[in-house]
């Protein structure tokens, strides 16, 4: 939707062409997006599973027991092979004052029914830059704050080119920051930081965290089953996605890969 909005606005670059587009109901845009997501979830996953007699779909919170069985809200399930694909969730950095801020992650940001006047995005990885452009093209004043610049894992030339492009679209990029603390100030979010020894202050209506992902393993009781994880909670697997317990495999973000 935002891409179409941006493309329509770009028609004015050509002589003899006048185009315009504007958002009249952001809530309707979000509702249509969510309806599409819900339909795809049912059509590609839930409905598909019912077509296979050998697949049982069970909703609930699962955890391992010592014998490797799964306890799903009191229902014990045993299987010779188990695949863990619980994904990952937003990493919350340890910054003073952050606990008092009603921050967003990429999911909740895209569920906002009202556009904020300004948005501060902490983190310059792929998720952060994607969401930054969406909101900027929707008319929100966006600031990206980051320690290592945009797309720090990519080639430096890519980071520099993207920074220049974003600034041309009105996205403010502040890199090389050392974070001091957050403050909630009369309905806004204030970040106090330092850059090259000088104080920097960034203020926005809302804050979105895009500071990486952590595997969703904390509630699985992996240690009870002898399934090892690294320091971030990612399940340790070999080249065949096998965990340290025989018959248990892991794939996707839960492995930290």
Cβ–Cβ under 8 Å, residues 155 and 178: no
Count of residues making up the chain = 257
CATH superfamily label, 58-88+218-257:
FAD/NAD(P)-binding domain (3.50.50.60)
Task: Tell me the mean pLDDT in the region 184-208.
Answer: 95
The whole-model pTM stands at: 0.83
Instruction: Break the chain into its structural domains and give their ranges.
Output: 1-57, 58-88+218-257, 92-211
Q: What is the tens place of the pLDDT at every residue in 159-180?
A: 999 999 999 999 999 999 999 9
Establish how many alpha carbons lie within 13 A of residue 91's alpha carbon, considering only the half-sphere containing its beta carbon: 19
Mean pLDDT of the chain: 93
Q: Tell the CATH topology of 92-211.
A: FAD/NAD(P)-binding domain (3.50.50)
């Amino acid at each position: 939707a935002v891409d179409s909005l941006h493309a329509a606005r770009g028609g004015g670059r050509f002589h003899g062409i006048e185009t315009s587009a504007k958002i009249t109901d952001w809530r309707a845009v979000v509702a249509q997006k969510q309806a599409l997501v819900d339909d795809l979830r049912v059509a590609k996953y839930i409905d598909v599973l019912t077509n296979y007699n050998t697949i049982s779909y069970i909703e609930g919170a699962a955890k391992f027991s010592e014998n490797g069985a799964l306890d799903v809200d009191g229902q014990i399930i045993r299987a010779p092979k188990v695949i863990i694909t619980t994904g990952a969730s937003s990493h919350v950095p340890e910054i003073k004052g952050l606990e008092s801020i009603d921050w967003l992650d990429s999911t909740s940001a895209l569920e906002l029914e009202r556009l904020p006047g300004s948005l501060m995005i902490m983190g310059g990885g792929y998720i952060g830059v994607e969401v930054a452009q969406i909101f900027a093209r929707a008319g929100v004043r966006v600031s990206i704050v980051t320690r290592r610049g945009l797309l720090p894992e990519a080639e430096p030339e890519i980071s520099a080119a993207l920074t220049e492009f974003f600034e041309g679209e009105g996205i403010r990029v502040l890199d090389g920051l050392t974070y001091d603390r957050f403050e909630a100030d009369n309905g806004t979010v204030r970040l106090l930081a330092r850059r090259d020894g000088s104080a920097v202050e960034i203020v926005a209506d809302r804050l979105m965290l895009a500071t990486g992902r952590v595997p969703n393993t904390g509630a699985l009781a992996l240690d009870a089953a002898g399934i090892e994880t690294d320091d971030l909670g990612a399940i340790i697997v070999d080249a065949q996605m096998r965990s340290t317990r025989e018959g248990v495999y892991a794939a996707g973000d839960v492995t930290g890969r």
